[in-house]
Amino acid sequence: MTPPTLTRSLSSQDRQGLLLSIEPLTPSSFSPFGTAISAPFSNTLNNVPAKIPEPLYSAHQPAAVFANQNSALKTSPISQFVDNYPVKQQQQQQQHYSSSADGDGGGATTRSKPQMSMFSCFPRNLSGVGIDTSRRNLAFKVSILERHPYTTQTFSPLGLSAADEESTVFLVIVAPSLSSPAAAKSSSSSSNPAGEGQDDQIQIQNPPDLSRLRAFVAKGDQAVTYAPGTWHAPMAVIGRRRVDFVVTQFVNGVADDDCQELLLGDNAVSVDLSTLNCDLDLDRVHQPPYDRKAKL
Q: Distance between CA atoms of 70 and 80, rounded to whole angstroms?
A: 25
Asked whether the predicted pLDDT for residue 165 surpasses 80, the reply is no
Using the predicted structure, report yes or no on whether residue 79 has a pLDDT greater than 50.
Answer: yes
Q: What is the pLDDT of residue 206?
A: 93
Q: Could you tell me what percentage of the chain is helix, strand and coil, using 3-state DSSP and rounding each to the nearest 5? A: 10, 35, 55
Confidence of residue 162 (pLDDT cuts 50, 70, 90): confident
Least confident range from 5-9, 69-73, 231-235, 277-281: namely: 277-281
Confidence of residue 150 (pLDDT cuts 50, 70, 90): very high
* Cis-peptide into 27, omega within 30 deg: no
Pick the more confident residue, 184 or 196: 184
Q: What domains does the chain contain, in order, with CATH numbers? A: 5-40+78-284 (2.60.120.480)
Buried b vs exposed e over 248-287: b needs ≥16 C-beta within 10 Å?
bbbbbebebbbbbbbbbbebbbbbbbeebebebeeeebee
91 vs 184, more confident:
184
CA distance linking residue 8 with residue 90, whole number of Å? 34
Biggest alpha carbon distance in the chain?
74
The confidence score (pLDDT) of residue 253 equals 94
Quote the DSSP letter at residue 211. Answer: G
Average pLDDT over residues 160-187: 88
The answer to whether residue 190 scores a pLDDT higher than 90 is no
**What confidence score (pLDDT) does residue 295 get?**
45
3-state secondary structure of 258: helix
Helix (H/G/I), strand (E/B), else coil: 165: helix
Question: Are 161 and 259 a contacting pair, CB within 8 Å?
Answer: no
Whether the model pTM is above 0.75: yes
Buried b (16+ CB within 10 A) or exposed e, 51-76: eeeebeeeebbeebeeeeeeeebebe
What are the residues whose beta carbons fall under 8 Å from the beta carbon of 7, sequence distance 6 or more?
182, 183, 184, 185, 265, 266
* pLDDT, average across residues 86-105: 56
One-letter amino acid of 33 = F
Assess whether pLDDT exceeds 90 at residue 210.
Answer: yes
Q: Which among 296, 166, 179 has a CA at the least distance from the CA of 229?
A: 179
pLDDT at 191: 45
Q: 84 pLDDT band (50/70/90 cuts)?
A: very high
More confident residue, 99 or 247: 247
262, 144 Cβ separation under 8 angstroms: yes
pLDDT of residue 296: 39
Please give the residue that has the higher pLDDT: either 153 or 211.
Answer: 153
Classified as helix, coil or strand, 166 is helix
50-71 mean pLDDT:
97
Please give the pLDDT value at position 237. 97
pLDDT at 221 over 70: yes
Confidence of residue 51 (pLDDT cuts 50, 70, 90): very high
Pick 197 or 3 by higher pLDDT. 3
In total, the chain counts a number of residues equal to 296
> Would strands 243-251 and 113-121 be described as parallel, antiparallel, or unpaired?
antiparallel
Q: How confident is the model at residue 9 (pLDDT cuts 50, 70, 90)?
A: confident
